[in-house]
Amino acid sequence: MKQLATLESRFWGEIHAPGTDAPFVVRGPTYLKDKKKIPAGLTQFVFAAMDLIEVPHVVQHVARFLPSIRDSGLPFAIIINLIIPGNPLLGVVATFATEQHPNQILVNPPSRPMEEEHDWQPFDFVLHKFLHGSTEQRNSMLKLIPHIAAGSWPIKQAVGTTPVILGKALKTTYHVTPQYIEIDIDISANKVASYVTGLVRGATKSLVIDMGFVLEGTTPWEVPEALLGAMRLNHLDLAFAKKCSPLAN
């Protein structure tokens, strides 16, 4: 699948995978009582492909037009499309994949998780809820943890490391198919996010940008949290964006 991605592999890579950096922390097993976080371990999904596209306007459900997704043959993926304001309008499309479809293994969630025996992990509960929940539920769950691994102090300060619930802060839409769920996040709809993104956009070639994605745990059986996926962008040159014309596909 990596070979099908439109963005050259030198610009992107995994973190929180064996032998890579692991900068993120997540809610620990006792977080709901003491607010303690723990180092995040390995991701639950693999960072399988990265596409950087130039679009004439905001394109919803962009996965339909990307070979990295359309022709991958993977059982299931979660696709996060960050719509970056500016001229030209860009889409940063990260694909996180798994080798086994969640619907094959996450069947009949325990009704009383704290009282009955089961083999469900905390991530299983939040993933099942996210995949089968309403838009309102999804909007309250997916959070981004930002991290500038290398870059200027002003940009590090502007970006910070505070997690943000994407569906609460930004215009977010979902497209669900049997093979994937795509999450389109329109950063241009938020003035503060647009400003910070503008700072980063103008300096990407000097930055190493990390992003972690987590499905928030809010009950005792949903913690400790686990990273859904994580990614690193290495000195990204936006000139390498590929034009995506939906009408031509």
- Residue 160, domain member (yes or no): yes
Work out how many domains the chain is built from and give that number: 1
Parent domain of 145? 2-242
- Residue 70, domain member (yes or no): yes
DSSP state of 7: S
Q: Which two tokens stand for residue 229?
A: 């996926």
Does residue 241 sit in helix, strand or coil? coil
- What is the spatial order of strands in the sheet that 208-215 belongs to? 12-13, 227-234, 208-215, 142-150, 164-165
- Residue 247, domain member (yes or no): no
pLDDT in tens, the chain (249 residues): 455 677 999 999 999 999 999 999 999 999 999 999 999 999 999 999 999 999 988 888 999 988 888 777 889 999 999 999 999 999 999 999 999 999 999 999 999 999 888 999 999 999 999 999 999 999 999 999 999 999 999 999 999 999 999 999 999 999 999 999 999 999 987 888 898 899 999 999 999 999 999 999 999 999 999 999 999 999 999 999 999 866 544
Q: Which two tokens stand for residue 161?
A: 């490391």
Q: Cα separation of 70 and 59, whole Å? A: 16
- Residue 249, domain member (yes or no): no
- Residue 112, domain member (yes or no): yes
- Give the pLDDT of residue 3: 56
